[in-house]
Amino acid sequence: MSGFGLIADVGGTNIRLALVDLKTGEIGRLQKYLCADYPSIADVIALYLEKQNETVTQACVAIACPTDKDWIAMTNHSWAFSKKQVQEQLGFDNFHVINDYTGIAMSIPTLTDEQKIQIGGEPAKTGEPIAVYGPGTGLGVAHLIHHDSEYVCIPGEGGHVEFASNDEKEAHVLAFLQKRYGHVSAERLLSGPGLVNIYQGLMDMHGKVAEDLQPADVTTRGLDGSCPVCVEAMEVFCRALGSFGGNLALNMSTFGGVYIAGGIITRFMDFFKNSDFRKRFEAKGRFVDFVAKVPVYVITEEQPGLQGAAAYLRQSNGYRI
């Protein structure tokens, strides 16, 4: 067996490819390609491997779409392929295709202190359940448990549970969005587009006409204080993110930690740290003392999906992560 495995993190725009030393877990030779420049995933992987001068027979791809069937069809790109056919075409002995949030979840045991920031709670307990969620284009959610010396990811669609309001502002935003969508999921508020939805709902509450803003506009105007309603929107976002995270902690007693992924929070870390996020995370009535012990971490590592694909591949080859 070759000492190296191929790992990839595939999004709607870019594919990142690297090699992992299966014994040590060291990741190197990272290359990024535009998905639109290649007709298929097999083409870009073959191109990458041609340049590496290594015999690679193991691969793990983390990709932003369902992966439970042989046929993979990307949600935000035109690539679609059969796992079996790609494996045969590229000559892999093993070809794993995992959901992008499985990749992020599998990265958690490998994160160093420099790749995450703790927000309250006690130190994480080794071997205890872990939850990870992340506001981005949508709201991804997964859990990670430790069983028989291995980590097992429990994926799901937790971002689509009903949103529950906890104060008057959230109640107004919820009612505003119910008129628009009917069913209002957590993702409708806890995502990039969700920031805009919150802003629009708050503008309606104040009897004002909302501007046509993008998520980056809301955060920019909120951080510089040029738009008081954008500041409010960011505050509501952080509080609601805390309530949702606290619910995840209760669901599985996640004393291994609740982790926040996605690039949104890292863009306004100081604002986030000073918000009511942690207060809302712990505001669980009779279980406030229980949840207060659970640590929250913001993942600052830029490539957790790639790191998780490496962990998944190494574990599938019998290595502990």
* Mean predicted confidence (pLDDT) in 194-208: 98
Which pair of structure tokens corresponds to residue 253? 């007693």
Rounded to the nearest integer, the mean pLDDT of the chain is: 95
Tell me what the mean pLDDT of segment 166-175 comes to. Answer: 97
**236 is known to lie in a ligand binding site:** no
In the chain, pLDDT over 70 holds for what percent of residues? 99
Please answer whether residues 2 and 13 qualify as being in contact, where contact means their C-beta atoms are separated by less than 8 angstroms.
no
- Structure confidence at residue 77 (pLDDT): 86
Kindly report, residue by residue over 67-79, the tens digit of the pLDDT. 999 999 987 788 9
SS3 content of the chain, % helix, strand, coil (to 5): 45, 25, 35
In sequence order, which ranges of the chain are alpha helices (DSSP H)? 41-50, 83-90, 100-107, 168-181, 192-205, 215-224, 228-252, 269-273, 277-282, 288-292, 304-316
**Mean pLDDT score, 90-109:** 95
Mean pLDDT of 11-36: 93
**3 state DSSP class of 71:** strand
When pLDDT is cut at 50, 70 and 90, the band that residue 24 belongs to is very high
pLDDT of 262: 83
pLDDT band for 1, please (50, 70, 90 cuts): very low
pTM of the model: 0.92
Tell me how far apart the alpha carbons of residues 21 and 308 are, in angstroms, rounded to a whole number.
14
Percent of the chain with pLDDT over 90: 89
Work out the average pLDDT over 256-274: 95
- 10 annotated as belonging to a binding site for a ligand: yes
Cα separation of 321 and 315, whole Å?
A: 7
Q: Is residue 159 a known part of a binding site? A: no
DSSP 8-state secondary structure symbol assigned to residue 32:
E
Task: Average the pLDDT over each of 145-149, 220-224, 251-255 and give the range with the smallest value.
Answer: 145-149
Burial 87-117 (b: 16+ CB within 10 A, else e): bebbebeebbbbbbbbbbbbbbbbbeeebbb
| C-alpha pair distances (Å), 45 with each of 61, 139, 196, 253 | 10, 28, 37, 40
Q: Is 201 annotated as a binding residue?
A: no
9 is in an annotated binding site: yes
Which of 192, 166, 191 is CA-nearest to residue 280? 166
Kindly state the average pLDDT of the residues 167-177: 98
Q: Does the pLDDT of residue 2 top 80, yes or no?
A: no
- Give the pLDDT of residue 156: 85
Q: How far apart are the first and last CA of the chain?
A: 19
pLDDT value of position 169: 97
pLDDT grade, residue 11 (50/70/90)? confident
Known binding residue 11? Answer is: yes
